[in-house]
Amino acid sequence: MAIADNVSEVFGRIEDAASRALREASDVKLVAVTKTVEVASIVEVIEAGVTCIGENRVQEAERKFTEDLPPVEKHLVGHLQRNKVRKALPLFDMIQSVDSVRLAREISTQCAAEGTVAEALVEVNTSGEETKFGLPPDEVVEAVEEMADLPGLRVQGLMTIGAFLPDPEDVRPCFRQLRELRNTIEERVIPGVSMEHLSMGMTNDYEVAIEEGATIVRVGRAIFGERG
């Protein structure tokens, strides 16, 4: 199918999943993940109604975020190394992958120097897999409290990459855990911290993520097809 048809199908599935959870589809933001996708295809996805794209690597964003790209919200959804923070901040509207207090401090330092504010999500490793980035769930609340005191950094919620399992139902506990963590942090009422967003769910499992409360889903393959 054409990219526009794929986008339409994903929007439809988002609407169906939201309906099952007694939610509004408008409460869920679709981030089209454009890893390895060239500018022409990104333009197609924007013209099909997608308002936010996600890139995994700073170097790739530098190459693709040019004047040829129509206005669109841009999120960094991949791991961010501290030595790439300075380059990343002007490129992205949100950093979804803040996976340590050390990284948060570096973002704060760079933002303070530039007089800017970075919107960020705290990445949580809900699957417990050693190959995944993210804070262990039992360290998240304390880390968010530390990040709350950093100038130039605005924590807007949490993000996770669920376990890669064939059955999306088996990933549901990862998403439920993130939602429960969000609720715990909200109960703390930490000044300067918002828990507006839960970014969870990708092509294989975004519908289950929505049922568990996702406000952002990150979908690539279902829109652009298999990556080369």
According to the model, what pLDDT value does residue 67 have?
81
pLDDT band (50, 70, 90) for residue 126: very high
Residues of 150-172 as b/e, b for ≥16 C-beta within 10 angstroms? bebbbbbbbbbbbeeeeebeebb
pLDDT band (50, 70, 90) for residue 122: very high
Query: Of all residues in the chain, what percent carry a pLDDT higher than 90?
Result: 94
Rg (CA), the chain: 17
pLDDT band (50, 70, 90) for residue 216: very high
Tens digits of residue pLDDT in 166-207: 999 999 999 999 999 999 999 999 999 999 999 999 999 999
DSSP state letters, 44-88: HHHHTT--EEEES-HHHHHHH-STTSPS-EEEE-S---GGGHHHH
Tens digits of residue pLDDT in 56-84: 999 999 999 988 899 999 999 999 999 99
CA 198 – CA 26 distance, rounded (Å): 14
